[in-house]
Amino acid sequence: MDKQTRTLTRFLVEEQMKHPGATGAFTELFADITLAAKIVSREVNKAGLAEILGVTGDINIHGEEVKKLDEFANEIFKHVLLKSGIVAAIASEEEDEVVISPPGRYIVVYDPLDGSSNIDVNVSIGTIFGIYRNNSGENVSIKDFLRSGRELVAAGYLIYGSSTMLVYTTGNGVHGFTLDPSIGEFILSHYDIKIPEEGKIYSINEAYESRWGNKMKGYIRNLKENGKTLRYIGSLVADFHRNLLKGGIFLYPADKKNPHGKLRLLYEAIPLAFIVEQAGGYASDGKGNILDRIPERIHEKTPLFIGSRKEVEKLENFLRNG
Ligand code: AHG
Ligand code: MN
Ligand code: MN
């Protein structure tokens, strides 16, 4: 019976009770995030029926086409978070600048819809978020976003896939909850997720091989010679989630076209780095730990290598020594 009734709310309240000073604001913030996620999940699930597929006609700050669902997810998360009185400011992939609206004890960074190219073809997509404490009160500004991932209070992602899941950490292990749409509740389905130390899977867009440096080419050749297998969905959240459960490495290196990589440091790489580290894995930009990076701009890009600890360390050695 307990298996079916261990809701996210109950889990959060139990966690909250372990911290005597807790005000409940964090639990409320999670209720807001899951509300927004349920609305996005509902729209994703009926996307083929509604007028929500396709593009808005706008190009975002990264020079990419904005899909209607990108825009919708961004607006829902922004609205729910900033109206709560708990979140003082947000930074989103789909907002050129940070949006500030104090008061609030927290600030939130997010990629509202990750894997945009998969929206129209019924392939898994997701939302990534990170939560920091607002240390500046009413004076919150862009500076409050340019900090190390080690300061994260929590990070998580939603995956809108064959089921909708929330996976998050507050620094006390990584837990996964599956949405039961019939009752509208996230139920604990994956307690204390640990990523295998090594894994067979590698995930990279190999079509870009001609743009890579020789060390990167040599590394991938070596993986093939060692019996690894390739899985690449093209939605970071979905590729990350599979590798978290099964073991392996996700790679989006710098290349001739994208000298700083494609993925964004603040609201893609850093939250997932915190999650993977909590699960016993590791995230690197090729030189060192993603969690040691301090973003200089909210939309800064980074190469990203993330997954099983030994696999990512092997990659770092390869890039160092060839
Ligand atoms: P977004 O949809 O938020 O812009 O992110 C897309 C990202 C990421 O999800 C995925 O891993 C990557 O783009 C795929 O890029 P390629 O098509 O270059 O492989
Ligand atoms: Mn993304
Ligand atoms: Mn996105």
Summarised one tens digit per residue, pLDDT across range 188-227 is: 999 999 999 999 999 999 999 999 999 999 999 999 999 9
The better pLDDT of the pair 24, 283 is held by 283
Pairwise CA distance, residues 112 & 91, whole Å: 10
Residue matched to tokens 């915190």: 274
Q: For the packed helices 68-82 and 25-45, what is the interaxial angle rounded to 10 degrees?
A: 160
Residue with tokens 């261990």: 6
Report the pLDDT value the prediction gives residue 67, as an integer from 0 to 100: 77
- For residues 289-294, give the mean pLDDT: 98
Q: What is the model's pLDDT at position 47?
A: 67
User: What's the DSSP call for residue 62?
Assistant: T
Euclidean distance between CA atoms 260 and 285, whole angstroms:
10
What ligand 1 atom has the least distance to the C-alpha of 237? 9
- Top-level CATH class of 201-321? alpha beta
Distance 127 CA to ligand 3 centre (A): 8
CA of 155 to the centre of ligand 1 (A): 19
**156-182 per-position pLDDT tens digit:** 999 999 999 999 999 999 999 999 999
Q: How confident is the model at residue 45, as a pLDDT?
A: 86
**pLDDT(1) > 70:** no
Omega before residue 103 within 30° of 0, cis: yes
Q: Is CATH 3.60.20.10 correct for 2-190?
A: no
The size of the chain, in residues, is 322
Question: Among the atoms of ligand 1, which is closest to the Cα of residue 239?
Answer: 11
Distance CA 9, CA 34 (A): 10
Q: Which residues pair with 59 in a beta bridge?
A: 65
The protein residue with its alpha carbon nearest to ligand 1, atom 6, reads 115
Is the distance from the beta carbon of residue 127 to the nearest atom of ligand 1 less than 6 Å? no
Neighbours of 234 (CB within 10 A): 15
Instruction: Give the bridge partners for 91, in sequence order.
Output: 109
CB atoms within 10 A of CB 150: 14
Q: What is the pLDDT of residues 83-96, one digit of tens each?
A: 999 999 999 999 99
C-alpha to C-alpha distance for 158 and 164, rounded to whole angstroms: 7
Assign 249 to helix, strand or coil.
Answer: strand
Query: Percent of the chain at pLDDT above 90?
Result: 84
Domain ranges of the chain: 2-190, 201-321
Distance 163 CA to ligand 3 centre (A): 19
- Residue for token pair 């009752």: 183
Q: Which of 46, 12, 201, 181 is nearest to 119 (CA)?
A: 46
Residues 25-56 have pLDDT tens digits of 999 999 999 999 999 999 988 866 766 677 77
Q: Contact, 9 vs 31, CB < 8 A?
A: yes
Label residue 247 left, alpha or beta by phi (over 0 means left) and psi (-120 to 50 means alpha): left
Residues 6+ apart with CB under 8 A from 183: none
What mean pLDDT, rounded, does the chain reach? 94
pLDDT per position as a tens digit, 60-91: 878 877 778 899 999 999 999 999 999 999 99
Distance of CA 199 to the CA centre of its chain: 21
Residue 114 Cβ contacting ligand 1 at under 6 Å: yes
Q: Which of the listed residues 114, 120, 267 should we mutate to test ligand 1's pocket, taking the one with most ligand atoms within 8 A of CB?
A: 114
